[in-house]
Structure 1
């Protein structure tokens, strides 16, 4: 079965996402649409506004055939690790095409990725200056290719996807889709298309978002919503009680950031905390991810270990998706999980970090997130 895949967050699912899914299926000519979706926490370092099961329900209703959870060890990372984790999941299932939205669909993503991979592997002048950040070296490389300064977030993520495909699954075809609507972090939008950021802000202002399917609007109103403000007191407690040596072991902690985080722990809310910690060197997304790692006590070694032991956790499917799973089951490169056992969520289990993070959502009223859960069917029957 020929499948097209997308790596997503759908935080929450809006009209632009539905359009992209339709275009991916149409332009690829694929038999099935596979969605790899971040779980309860997303790449910008915050909880998704709806839990992963509610969002899976929406994605299936919008036409996806199979929904897979992007492992936490990839979902709350930089674009490079995020892309690597998503492509690894799609490649394991034999997906032949990766579709993604971008502000720059005209770029030769595959060609750029091949050149970048050669530079990184053979050290031809780029990516060897360890006094610069990887992002700075990447920007210099793009400039040398005559691409100028690429700042559009989805285009940058598309280049990360392309590099992951070049290194993990060279036969996978790339399908850039012209992104419609407001910019990624825009606070405004049209009636038809809006950004996820604008929609989340509307919900938190008590407004009913207009640029979403009706089912999304219903779930946003009737299911628990999540944000950093609910987690802020817990982070404050961690920063006030954890020793500096303990904080230094946290994944992505570097260059004395433990002192900056500890010093800002008295802030009145999470937004003020970020402003106090912010510097030119660190983006807000990086600081939110680091804050989440502190809250979850995600240590560098265990994140790396989880990255080396990925599984394919199935969140939902329809009849076509079940047929695809059956067809690839014997040849899948990663273990396929359709029911989470107690052993999987133990401290040394393959879903230990996922369970640690999802326990927060359970505490906030989200219900059981992993143990015993079966994939959702399109008709919501297990």
Structure 2
């Protein structure tokens, strides 16, 4: 019986640090199959991915993954706790036995923490109020539970994985992997560096730096990342138009719009000149940039509370983006006992407005407008014969 190790990723874009993590996950888990649940064309920070999901899935398969499943928009563009829950539910459905993730602190007992936190949640000693800053609530509670504040972004996400994992009927074994090189959001690249953050690499690509500046950070030729590179600033004209033509009372229906933010969005839009300028004007101590970026994206895409409710009513979907021979064998083994069908192509039924991938198709149409490449219909699952590097 084949065993699988899961990884949650964005690969925005795929770089040497991701290649290292996949290699370590295979070694430390001793799993037969590495399954990556990867965000689609929009990522957790509330921005479009720099290149589309198909390019990123192809690179993941070339450099270590055996099977890539899409994390749908309804889970991918969410606060850390909901992002983690959506991803872990998919890995659980696929019967993964382990979860590997990068972190700044591998000495921390994430498994024990998850169980400890689960007890607190079950007794309603910790509930999340999404009208307040999630990071602050989370860290205040962590301080009370473990006696220290956690600020490292990957460790914070690891703690969210641990709690989401503890809530599963059959929790996975957690395998923390030491993060290499630059910090998660560090935009500078050290001289002679081989590991850089995805943020730094995106900035180099968007600044159109010569290939020599980027190539050492990638395990593949830079030409594999096919332009156009999608930049969040490209969304500004669309957001500006939406805010110019929509009453605040209508904006109130946007997912996670609360506390009068619809009026703040409407007012600050008038003088704003770009996406980043708008966010700076809207920013206050009460709201993190992460929340405001996601809210601005929901507004641009006109994602309402009803849209999310309908998408989530279908439950987690198993949208296959690609696999190799190992991944194919694992799917063949698991298919008879999967709680929901595998989706290997989008058709009129699955992609319908009220279908299981209706919201995904809708947001991908916007990404397709920016990239010029079809994202769902007539796209085939990536199949590669290479097992792993």
How does the TM-score come out when normalised to structure 2? Answer: 0.93
Give me the whole-angstrom Cα distance separating, in 1, the residues matched to 2:268 and 2:133.
25
Q: Cα–Cα, structure 1 residues 164 and 216, in superposed 2: closer, same or farther, change >3 Å? A: farther
Give me the whole-angstrom Cα distance separating, in 1, the residues matched to 2:370 and 2:133.
37
Match runs of 1:234-313 below 5 Å:
234-266=238-270, 267-309=272-314, 310-313=316-319
Name 1:362's counterpart in structure 2: 368
Match runs of 1:26-41 below 5 Å:
26-41=27-42
Match runs of 1:74-89 below 5 Å:
74-89=75-90
Tell me the CA shift for residue 128 of structure 1.
8.6
Tell me the CA shift for residue 178 of structure 1.
0.6
Tell me the CA shift for residue 335 of structure 1.
2.4
Tell me the CA shift for residue 226 of structure 1.
0.5
Name 1:333's counterpart in structure 2: 339
Give me the whole-angstrom Cα distance separating, in 2, the residues matched to 1:131 and 1:321.
41
Name 2:234's counterpart in structure 1: 230
CA offsets per residue over residues 213-240 of structure 1, 9 Å max, x none?
35362223x3321011211101111111
Give me the whole-angstrom Cα distance separating, in 2, the residues matched to 1:313 and 1:132.
33
Q: Cα–Cα, structure 1 residues 163 and 256, in superposed 2: closer, same or farther, change >3 Å? A: same
Tell me the CA shift for residue 377 of structure 1.
1.2
Give the CA RMSD over aligned residues.
Answer: 1.8
Match runs of 1:27-66 below 5 Å:
27-66=28-67
Q: Cα–Cα, structure 1 residues 226 and 379, in superposed 2: closer, same or farther, change >3 Å? A: farther
Give me the whole-angstrom Cα distance separating, in 2, the residues matched to 1:216 and 1:83.
32
CA offsets per residue over residues 83-106 of structure 1, 9 Å max, x none?
001001111111110000001111
**Higher deviation after alignment, 261-270 or 155-164:** 261-270
2:101 matches 1:95: no
Q: Is the 8 A contact 1:60 1:66 kept in 2?
A: yes
Give me the whole-angstrom Cα distance separating, in 1, the residues matched to 2:130 and 2:8.
30
Match runs of 1:135-214 below 5 Å:
135-190=135-190, 191-207=193-209, 208=211, 209-214=214-219
Give me the whole-angstrom Cα distance separating, in 2, the residues matched to 1:246 and 1:379.
50
Give me the whole-angstrom Cα distance separating, in 1, the residues matched to 2:294 and 2:378.
28
Give me the whole-angstrom Cα distance separating, in 1, the residues matched to 2:58 and 2:101.
21
Give me the whole-angstrom Cα distance separating, in 1, the residues matched to 2:238 and 2:129.
38
Give me the whole-angstrom Cα distance separating, in 1, the residues matched to 2:148 and 2:52.
38
Q: Cα–Cα, structure 1 residues 57 and 130, in superposed 2: closer, same or farther, change >3 Å? A: closer
Q: Is the 8 A contact 2:128 2:134 kept in 1?
A: no
Give me the whole-angstrom Cα distance separating, in 1, the residues matched to 2:357 and 2:129.
36
Q: Is the 8 A contact 1:109 1:162 kept in 2?
A: yes
Name 2:10's counterpart in structure 1: 9
**Higher deviation after alignment, 261-270 or 275-284:** 261-270
Give me the whole-angstrom Cα distance separating, in 2, the residues matched to 1:249 and 1:44.
21
**Higher deviation after alignment, 154-163 or 301-310:** 301-310
SS at match of 2:55: helix
Tell me the CA shift for residue 131 of structure 1.
9.0
Unaligned runs of 5+ in 2: none
2:376 matches 1:374: no
SS at match of 1:186: coil
Tell me the CA shift for residue 211 of structure 1.
4.3
**Higher deviation after alignment, 70-79 or 368-377:** 368-377
SS at match of 2:95: coil
Number of residue pairs the alignment of both structures matches? 378
